[in-house]
Structure 1
Amino acid sequence: MADDINQLREQLHQLTEDYKTLEHNFDIMSEGYQESLMLYDKLEDTYHELEETNKQLEVARQRAEEASRMKTNFIQQISHEIRTPLNILNGFTQILTTPGMELDLNTQQEVTKGIDENTNRITSLVNKMLELADASCRTELDRTDHVLAVQIAAQASDESRITVASHLTFDLVMDEGTDTLMLQTNLQQATRALSLLLDNARKFTQPAEAAVNAGAEVKQGRVVLRLAQQEQMLRFIVEDNGIGVPESEAEHIFDEFVQLDDYYDGTGIGLTVARSIARRLGGDVVIDTTYTDGARFIFSLPIA
């Protein structure tokens, strides 16, 4: 009987030891399983990061291809736009230099006007290319001119010729106190930046040729330039009822050569140059994406 009890005790002891061994092995397996889970989670995170990186690389590749295409289009367009007035000037030159050619007063005035217009057109294109080359520069511009804010608005309106555009109505609105507000800035550069924004509004409130040819209803264009003070910044707000800008393109349109609608004339560098000038004057140019009746650009300059 005693032998049986001892044998049972030995078996119980062995079972206990076996249980402890199994429990230890289970703990090791559990730790390994947890480590495997952690490793899997890390691998999954790495996979998602790689997937996101690949998406960003694909977007960057598409943007690079788009920029290359736009640059090519820009060069072709500039070449075409320069060649056209050159051909016109060449025609006028042949008329003026033809032996025995006598022109009446009206014809002389038309030729003179044509020469002036096309010379200015070439000069404007060359200036745009020079401005584009300077757009990536971050050097601050000289700000020693003391001028009225309304003077910048008036000169930019004249320079952009928006006041004589037949397809739109243009209004200059000044908030209280802005009519006598003085700025210390660069008159020429500030005027140029605002002129580019007004020119952009003038262009995109005019119906595209494709829409006109398709018989689409043409609405009267409207552009408002409003001067408003916000803390220590003077804001030139250019608001139009043109084709507008999708919110997803709000920053993209400030890139070089970007044109959202190929049916409109343009070089795709005006907004790039305007923002560059504004930032070098201590301000900025942004688009208000909350405005949905067209486009609203805000050009800000420091007051002091």
Structure 2
Amino acid sequence: MSQTSTLSVTRKALVSAAAGLLVLLFLPTSQVLVSDQISITLIWSMIFPMIIAAAWGPRWGALSGLCGGVFYPFLAWPQNGWAALLPSGIYLIFLVTIGMASQRPSLQKHRFGQIIALALSFLVYLSLMWPLYTHLFNPLLGLNAQHWKAPADTFFEPSLIALLCFKNAISVGTLCLMADLCLRIRSIRKFLALPALAGSRSNGLIFLSSIAATLTIWSLFITLDKRFDLWEEPNGTSYQILAFWILLVSGCGSARIICSVLERRYASESDLERSRRALQESSKKLQSLNRTLTETNHRLEKEKKRAEAAERLKSIFLMNLHHELRTPLNAINGFAQLLKTENARGADAKQYVDKIERGTNRFLTMIDRITQIAQIHAGETEVKVAQVDVEALLQRVKTLPSAKIQSGGVELHLPPDWTGKSLVTDCSKLEIVLDRLLESAGDAAEGKPVRLIPSWQDENRLTITIEYSGTLIDKATPSSYQTSSVEIGGLDIGLAIAQTYVQILGGQIDNVASPDKGSRIVVTIPNQEALPQSPSF
């Protein structure tokens, strides 16, 4: 139950003063129930200051009362004279109590905080009314002057004072019930700039329906009374008003119960809706988390397979490395042992020394290639871009002493439309790539010549084709080798370096092998200033 209003102080003051004046304005329309000794008056317009006090607090309730709300006893019962000050003071305290109770934070947060605040104020009203009326009412009556405009009363019997307390309790209790119901109507809360209550959309209609039902039943009651003379004068009118009071209180009580039931139902539906939305959000989050976990699992599974493949390939690589290193070392060691014999003289000794030299060169080349692979793996490969004379580079590569190229040699075939153009790339790495590929191709050619054919796909892309007879064995297939996972698969170290350097230069290698028609390796290198970052094993 939030009672925080956003109206300005000036508007609150004007509305509070108007509410107090309305009490005096509508005083003649009050319902009076006359019994043998006393009249019970329902000053229904007193509901306006009560609503102001409950909505805005004690000072605005006091202002509304002082502007006319608490002075109605002087007009309703002029014969009481100075004794009218007593109910006026009690009503003023009652309005202040309503404002103080309604503004308590603990009650504002409570579902039934408003009715509890009015009930507490009603109890304070009852606790003040009985002792004050008993001890002060008659002394105040004694102060009335003999020339009072209306015939002044000077003394009430204790039983009559008890009836006064009883009739005031009935009136104020009825007003508390009506005020609580009015404060639950959305249009009234909007006028007072109070936040709307959850589920209060139908409260106004329920209130009007209860009033309409009360008036309808009461009209039917009056019609039947006049038609069949159920009660004759002088008490007939009193019975009719009593019936109206009973119907009004019953209607307001029923409306209040219906409003509470609907509000609670709306609150339950709202809680269910919030729970449903929260459940949907949780479900979406769980689905998203499940997708994320599934993707992560797939990614981890791929990484696991890649790691397992890399581990297997590492083992294969180490075995091949062991073979590649032992071969030249065995040659060096074997021919060195032969030189120690007495028969190693002249031409034989020179032949042994040549083979030792070739084995040593092969061993040094292997060490150099292992160093290059280590640099690639560590990401320390530097790319030095410069203008490269392609024809000069091919002529130089053609004469390199590749250990695996046998007597067939390398033949450079320039196309008829060849023009001496330069390429922007790393010259040393491109030379290493061609040297390694020519090595493998010459080894597969088995003594037949290897053809080196350059061509330009366009102005910015150079293609170098290496043609040879026979086919590279499976371990010498560059297209089956990926530097990202070091899928060496038995491939020698030279081809591994060649494939990696081509990728560093932004190009690619394609291998087409045919047992009958020979094979060719196609290397494509782009002409560019900026090159991609070096991939690592």
State the one-letter code of the partner of 2:482: I
Identify the structure with the greater strand proportion. Answer: 1
- In 1: Cα distance, 2:359 partner to 2:287 partner: 63
Instruction: State which of 484, 488, 496 in structure 2 corresponds to 1:255.
Output: 484
Instruction: State which of 340, 352, 357 in structure 2 corresponds to 1:111.
Output: 352
Q: CA deviation at 1:36?
A: 0.9
Equivalent residue runs for 1:133-148 within 5 Å? 133-135=374-376, 136-141=379-384, 143=386, 147-148=388-389
Higher Cα Rg, which structure: 2
The equivalent of 1:68 in structure 2 is: 311
State the one-letter code of the partner of 1:27: S
Instruction: State which of 390, 393, 396 in structure 2 corresponds to 1:152.
Output: 393
Deviations 1:173-231 (A, max 9, x none): 65845x4013466544331123234456667x789xxxxxxxxxxxx9x9874432544
Deviations 1:147-190 (A, max 9, x none): 52122234335546897697xx988565845x401346654433
1:236 paired with 2:463, answer yes
The equivalent of 1:50 in structure 2 is: 293
The equivalent of 2:421 in structure 1 is: 181
The equivalent of 1:195 in structure 2 is: 435
User: Structure 1's 187 and 14: CA in aligned 2 closer, same or farther, altered over 3 A?
Assistant: closer
The equivalent of 1:33 in structure 2 is: 276
Deviations 1:222-268 (A, max 9, x none): 9874432544x34234477866678xx7xx71236422x44xx413x
State the one-letter code of the partner of 2:359: N
Q: Secondary structure of 2:303's partner? A: helix
The structure showing larger relative contact order (alpha-carbon pairs under 8 Å, at least 6 residues apart) is 1
The equivalent of 1:285 in structure 2 is: 507
- In 2: Cα distance, 1:77 partner to 1:21 partner: 81
Q: CA deviation at 1:129?
A: 1.0
Instruction: State which of 276, 292, 300 in structure 1 corresponds to 2:526.
Output: 300
Contact map agreement 2:369 2:497 (CA 8 A) in 1: no
Deviations 1:15-64 (A, max 9, x none): 56534542442233123212211211111111211221122223223323
Contact map agreement 2:429 2:501 (CA 8 A) in 1: no
- In 1: Cα distance, 2:255 partner to 2:478 partner: 83
- In 2: Cα distance, 1:69 partner to 1:37 partner: 47
User: Structure 1's 39 and 84: CA in aligned 2 closer, same or farther, altered over 3 A?
Assistant: same
User: Structure 1's 118 and 245: CA in aligned 2 closer, same or farther, altered over 3 A?
Assistant: closer
Q: CA RMSD in A?
A: 4.6
State the one-letter code of the partner of 1:180: G
Q: Secondary structure of 1:180's partner? A: coil
- In 2: Cα distance, 1:189 partner to 1:162 partner: 20
The equivalent of 1:215 in structure 2 is: none
The equivalent of 1:86 in structure 2 is: 329
User: Structure 1's 237 and 32: CA in aligned 2 closer, same or farther, altered over 3 A?
Assistant: farther
- In 2: Cα distance, 1:87 partner to 1:296 partner: 35
Instruction: State which of 357, 361, 366 in structure 2 corresponds to 1:120.
Output: 361
- In 2: Cα distance, 1:42 partner to 1:286 partner: 44
User: Structure 1's 300 and 152: CA in aligned 2 closer, same or farther, altered over 3 A?
Assistant: farther
Q: CA deviation at 1:276?
A: 4.2
* TM-score, with structure 2 as normaliser: 0.41
User: Structure 1's 274 and 301: CA in aligned 2 closer, same or farther, altered over 3 A?
Assistant: farther
1:22 paired with 2:265, answer yes
Unaligned runs of 5+ in 2: 1-215, 222-246, 515-519, 531-537
Q: CA deviation at 1:112?
A: 4.5
- In 2: Cα distance, 1:297 partner to 1:26 partner: 72
User: Structure 1's 164 and 81: CA in aligned 2 closer, same or farther, altered over 3 A?
Assistant: closer
User: Structure 1's 60 and 24: CA in aligned 2 closer, same or farther, altered over 3 A?
Assistant: same
- In 1: Cα distance, 2:451 partner to 2:272 partner: 74
* More divergent stretch after superposition (154-163 vs 28-37): 154-163
Instruction: State which of 495, 506, 513 in structure 2 corresponds to 1:270.
Output: 495
- In 1: Cα distance, 2:451 partner to 2:280 partner: 62
Q: Secondary structure of 1:254's partner? A: coil
The equivalent of 1:213 in structure 2 is: none
* More divergent stretch after superposition (107-116 vs 129-138): 107-116
- In 2: Cα distance, 1:229 partner to 1:119 partner: 41
- In 1: Cα distance, 2:299 partner to 2:354 partner: 52
Paired residues in the alignment total 272
Contact map agreement 2:329 2:359 (CA 8 A) in 1: yes
Q: CA deviation at 1:125?
A: 0.6
User: Structure 1's 239 and 60: CA in aligned 2 closer, same or farther, altered over 3 A?
Assistant: farther
Contact map agreement 2:336 2:356 (CA 8 A) in 1: no
The equivalent of 2:217 in structure 1 is: 2
State the one-letter code of the partner of 2:217: A
User: Structure 1's 163 and 117: CA in aligned 2 closer, same or farther, altered over 3 A?
Assistant: closer
Unaligned runs of 5+ in 1: 208-219
State the one-letter code of the partner of 1:284: G
Q: Secondary structure of 2:382's partner? A: coil
1:77 paired with 2:320, answer yes
Contact map agreement 1:70 1:258 (CA 8 A) in 2: yes
